């Protein structure tokens, strides 16, 4: 048996090179539409564009606020409304003594809870009405 | 003939211009770099859709890092080859679908159909052989023999010594040979 008989069991460097050549030559061409898409993504990712876009979102919020404020009677009226609402919430959660004194005198109750009828022994029956 | 000033600028200069919002540099940079990434990704994954996804992702990473890019640190292409390799390896591990699921279109430079078929068969066989190689061997072989980079460049991309690159390539080629030997005749490698 000669070396030639074993030739089919060998794969030389030149054989491998032919396979590499084939793989290189059969590389698909990049789709021009895909390249266009990449360009668009690149523009969107540009740091300047990103800043402008984030700036735009702030501008949108200000535009919305500027349309809402006149509906409440202008800037001063809107601020007053917000302040009054905030004070109302604070009093609701933590009423100052002055409020309690006023309710005690006026409604003849000890606490706001009593005034609201919570835990009050008084029962209301529909038959009474 | 269009006059493109950016032809004379290197990638780092163009990337700096990109960070400043220069649209022309963006077009040049994308046109230059996308085919390089796509080629590497396709050779590693053998799937057009996956290669396009990787190209997109690698470029997005580059745009993100652009304002902080240090031109003294590394070449952009080296960095991109590295990023692309890592993205391909991640994708390859997840999908494990590098196969003949997509046969590439043959560029019309082969003279006849038989030769085209032979090119496709050889390409398919090579990708099947590459598929079963360990990640690092496949990466080194793709960079050396399909992207045709030098061993020093590959060592920089893979962050290993040149000797380690040579060793990876040698072992990878040995494995390829043992995988492909049975197909030698079918691939038309015995008669020329």
pLDDT tens-digit profile, chain B (192 residues): 444 556 668 899 999 999 988 888 899 999 999 999 999 999 999 999 999 999 999 999 999 999 999 888 889 999 999 999 999 999 988 876 544 455 555 455 556 777 788 888 999 999 999 999 999 999 999 999 999 999 999 999 999 999 999 999 999 999 999 999 888 888 888 644
Tokens linked to B191: 């008669």
Q: Which of A16, A42, A49 has its CB closest to that of B177?
A: A16
Q: Is residue A9 within 8 Å of residue B178, measured between CB atoms? A: no
> CA of A60 to nearest chain B CA: how many angstroms apart?
23
Q: Which burial class, exposed, middle or buried, applies to B93 when counting CB atoms under 10 A from its CB (0-12, 13-18, 19+)?
A: exposed
CA-wise closest residue to B83 among B27, B28, B159: B159
Q: Is the ipTM here above 0.90?
A: no
pLDDT value of residue B152: 95
Q: A-chain residues within 8 Å CB-CB of B68?
A: none
3-state secondary structure of B111: coil
Burial class (CB in 10 A: 0-12, 13-18, 19+), A116: exposed
Measured CA distances, A90 to A73, A114, B119 (Å): 24, 20, 81
Best A8, A19, A47 member to test B by mutation, with max B CBs in 10 Å, is A19
Predicted TM-score (pTM) of the model is: 0.68
Which of B6, B21, B60, B182 best probes binding to A when mutated, by most A CB atoms within 10 angstroms? B21
Phi, then psi, of A123 in degrees rounded to 5: -110, 140
Residue in chain B nearest A14 by alpha carbon: B189
**Diameter of chain A by CA atoms?**
123
pLDDT at A109: 63
Question: What sign results for the dihedral spanned by CA atoms B53, B55, B61, B63?
Answer: negative
Judged by CB atoms closer than 8 Å, whether chains meet at A20 and B146 is answered as yes
């Amino acid at each position: 048996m000669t070396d030639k008989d074993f030739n089919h069991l060998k794969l030389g460097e030149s054989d491998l090179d032919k396979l590499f050549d084939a793989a290189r030559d059969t590389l698909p061409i990049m789709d021009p539409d895909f390249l266009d898409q990449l360009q668009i993504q690149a523009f969107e990712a540009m740091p300047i564009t990103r800043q402008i876009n984030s700036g735009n979102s702030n501008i949108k919020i200000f535009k919305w606020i500027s349309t809402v404020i006149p509906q409440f009677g202008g800037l001063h009226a809107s601020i007053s409304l917000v302040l009054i609402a905030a004070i109302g919430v604070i009093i609701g959660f933590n009423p100052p003594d002055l409020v309690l004194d006023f309710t005690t005198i006026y409604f003849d109750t000890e606490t706001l809870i009593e005034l609201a009828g919570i835990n009050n022994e008084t029962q209301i029956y529909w038959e009474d009405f | 003939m269009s006059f493109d000033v950016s032809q004379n600028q290197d990638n780092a200069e163009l990337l700096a211009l990109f960070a400043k919002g220069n649209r022309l540099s963006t077009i040049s940079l994308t046109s230059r770099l996308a085919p390089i990434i796509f080629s590497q990704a396709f050779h590693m994954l053998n799937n057009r859709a996956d290669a396009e996804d990787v190209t997109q992702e690698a470029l997005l990473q580059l745009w993100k890092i652009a304002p902080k890019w240090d031109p003294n640190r590394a070449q952009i292409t080296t960095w991109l080859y590295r990023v692309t390799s890592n993205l391909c390896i991640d994708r390859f591990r997840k999908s494990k679908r590098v196969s003949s699921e997509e046969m590439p279109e043959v560029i019309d430079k082969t003279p006849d159909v038989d030769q085209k078929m032979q090119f496709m068969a050889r390409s398919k066989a090579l990708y099947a052989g590459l598929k079963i190689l360990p990640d690092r061997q496949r990466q080194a072989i793709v960079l050396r023999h399909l992207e045709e980079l030098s061993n020093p460049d590959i060592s920089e991309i893979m962050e290993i010594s040149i000797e380690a690159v040579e060793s990876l390539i040698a072992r990878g080629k040995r494995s390829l040979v043992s995988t492909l030997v049975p197909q030698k005749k079918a691939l038309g490698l015995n008669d020329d």
